[in-house]
Every structure is written in structure tokens, then in C-alpha cells.
Amino acid sequence: MKIIPVDCKYVESGFAASYLLIREGRALFIECNTNHAIPHLLKAAEAEGISPDQVDGLIITHVHLDHAGGAGLFLRSFPGAILYAHPKAARHAIDPARLVASATKVYGEAFMRERYGEVLPCDESRVRVLQDGDSVFFQGVEIEIKHTRGHANHHLVAFETLTRTLFTGDSCGVSYPEVNARHGIVALASTSPTDFDGEAALEVIDWIERLSPERIAPTHFGFIEKSDHHRMFQMLRDEIRFSKDLVERIRSSGLTATQVYAILSEWTVRYFFERWGIRLDAQDLHLLEIDLEVNAQGLCFAASPQ
């Protein structure tokens, strides 16, 4: 099995990946990012001698637009591909109107057009629902599916059993190559709106540790080898526990999103220095800024009356 991380050039290089799996002249993608990424996926397949009609499918870990906003265009670009998704994600992929309306309310129409383009519906006949414990078989290789709450209630991870690579979406947070090149593995938990659940997120980390994959492949971004897993798991656990406590502080003190962002940013810088001896500089914080902002929004949402 050949697995290639494809840079989707989302926001900037090194932020979001789609993974191209190739075996015996056929291909499967995991994640597709936005409409703007589809040309990069086509080009990556072509570079490997794979034509659009040799791509059998697309697995999305969840329906957030930076993971699956381009799914409709993907199916039009790869005419024989099947979309595989969590039951709740599949509904939004088939009819993205509510998803788009919700995101537009937050970000505005101009931002949505620039960042995501037109989010196209997926042909229902080409969508397959993945229940917890299901498998996708690709060229004789089993890809096991597990539903994983904590980041989103419609999230799943995919475990490719031949190379023992686990595609984690956002369940293992984000870890950017540019930051890692300076400091070793630096992982940041993802608590973005609207479904952050700290206890569930910790249970997922425990499950992944028991699974003991050879490689972890988060969507944001690239392979994390087994030698770095223990360190990554510890970072994620510490960050999730802090985030859980911060949700309670928001509820009791009525903190604003701006205040939460400041608290989260200050704690993150202090945590990595005091716990790991890592001095995050201005360049690091520029790369992590979007995630810290979105994480603060997610914690405020989790603290608000539902």
C-alpha cells in the first residue's frame, strides 16, 4: 500500500492534507478539503499514473468544511468514486444547505465564497453510510471504521490494517510540520465548535493508544511515527483536561471569546515551555493562531446553554 499525503494548500501550505492510497493500480482518498483542493488531488493522482476513473472512493472523517467541503465536486471529478461517511455526516454531504447556512452565519458570505467556494451536494446514490465497526475494503485491504466523539458527534477514524496507519481527522488534534521541524512533535488538541466533549475526547486518545498503530495521520498535517506517539498523547491529554476546566471557568465567570482566547494562548505558551522546554516563538504562534481562535470559540459554545 502506498500512502501519499497531498497538501491541499488550505490557508497556506502545510495546514491540511488529503491522503492518497494506491494499491494495484487503483486509488482511494481520505479527506478532500475544499473545492480549491480538488485540482491538487487530481494532480497528485495523475503524478502517480492514476486517472480519475481509477479512483474508487473517498472516506471523510467528518463533514467540517476543511475536511469535506469539496466532496460534491470530488464526486463530479472522480466519476466512479463512492463517498464513505458517518451517518450524520452523510446527511449533510447529500444536502449541505444547513451546514452552509450555519457556517455563513458565523463567517459571512464573502469569506465563505473565498475560503470554500460553492459547497455542492453529493449524489445520494454514491454515498455509503459507515456504522461504528464497519469496514471499507480497498483492493483486498480492510480499512476499519470507528466512530469517535469528542471533536464532533459525526466523527470517525479509519484504520488501514496492512500498514497499520490510523487516519484520525481531528481526533488527535493538529500537528504542523513547520513547527515540528523546530521543536519535535508539537500537538494541539482541537476543541472547535460545536461538539467538544472532553471526556469523550480523552476516551478516544486512550483507545488509539491501545490500538497502537504504526503511524498516525491527522488531517492537519502529515504522518506522525510511532516513536512520537507517547509524547503526542500526553500533550493532547493535558490540553483536553485544561480545556475541560476552562469550560467550567467560562460557565462560572461569563468569560468572553476574546478573554478565552487570551487565556488559552497564554496557557499554551507556558505549558509547552514548562512541560516540554519548547519556546513557541512568533512564527509558531502565527501557524497556531487560527486553531487557538477556533478552539476558544468551541469552548465558549460548549459552556453556553444548549
Nearest-angstrom CA–CA distance, 55 and 82? 9
Task: Please tell me the least confidently modeled range out of 96-100, 133-137, 139-143, 239-243.
Answer: 96-100
Residue 108, pLDDT score: 84
Q: How confident is the model at residue 188 (pLDDT cuts 50, 70, 90)?
A: very high
Mean pLDDT of 223-234: 97
| Predicted confidence (pLDDT) at residue 255 exceeds the cutoff of 80 | yes
Q: How confident is the model at residue 304 (pLDDT cuts 50, 70, 90)?
A: confident
What residue spans of 95-185 are helical by DSSP H?
97-107, 109-116, 177-183
Q: How far is CA 179 from CA 37, 119, 137, 284, in A?
A: 23, 31, 35, 6
Residue 102, pLDDT score: 80
Mean pLDDT of 59-66: 96
Nearest-angstrom CA–CA distance, 228 and 222? 13
Q: How confident is the model at residue 306 (pLDDT cuts 50, 70, 90)?
A: low
Mean pLDDT of 112-126: 93
| Predicted confidence (pLDDT) at residue 288 exceeds the cutoff of 90 | yes
Nearest-angstrom CA–CA distance, 300 and 114? 26
- Could you tell me the pTM of the whole model? 0.96
Domains and CATH numbers, the chain: 2-171 (3.60.15.10), 243-303 (no CATH)
Predicted confidence (pLDDT) per residue in 32-57, tens digit:
999 999 999 999 999 999 999 999 99
Predicted confidence (pLDDT) per residue in 148-177, tens digit:
999 999 999 999 999 999 999 999 999 999
Can you give the C-alpha Rg of the chain in angstroms?
A: 19
Strand ranges inside the chain, DSSP E: 2-7, 17-23, 26-30, 55-59, 82-85, 127-129, 135-138, 141-147, 156-160, 165-169, 215-218, 224-225
Residue 18, pLDDT score: 98
Mean pLDDT of 239-248: 97
| Predicted confidence (pLDDT) at residue 285 exceeds the cutoff of 70 | yes
Q: How confident is the model at residue 183 (pLDDT cuts 50, 70, 90)?
A: very high
Give 267: exposed, middle or buried? Use CB within 10 Å, 0-12, 13-18, 19+.
middle
Nearest-angstrom CA–CA distance, 260 and 178? 26
In the chain, what is the straight-line distance between the N-terminal and C-terminal CA atoms, in Å?
44
List, in sequence order, every residue forming a beta bridge with 165; answer none if it has no partner: 160, 215
At 107, the amino acid letter reads Y
Mean pLDDT of 264-284: 96
Residue 271, pLDDT score: 98
Task: Say if residues 240 and 275 touch (Cβ distance below 8 Å).
Answer: no
The per-residue pLDDT of the chain, averaged, comes to: 95
Residue 47, pLDDT score: 98
Residue 103, pLDDT score: 81
Mean pLDDT of 277-288: 94
CA nearest to 172, candidates 235, 115, 127, 105: 235
Nearest-angstrom CA–CA distance, 212 and 138? 22
Largest Cα–Cα distance of the chain, in whole Å? 58
Mean pLDDT of 230-242: 98
List, in sequence order, every residue forming a beta bridge with 55; answer none if it has no partner: 27
Instruction: Name the residue with higher pLDDT: 68 or 102.
Output: 68
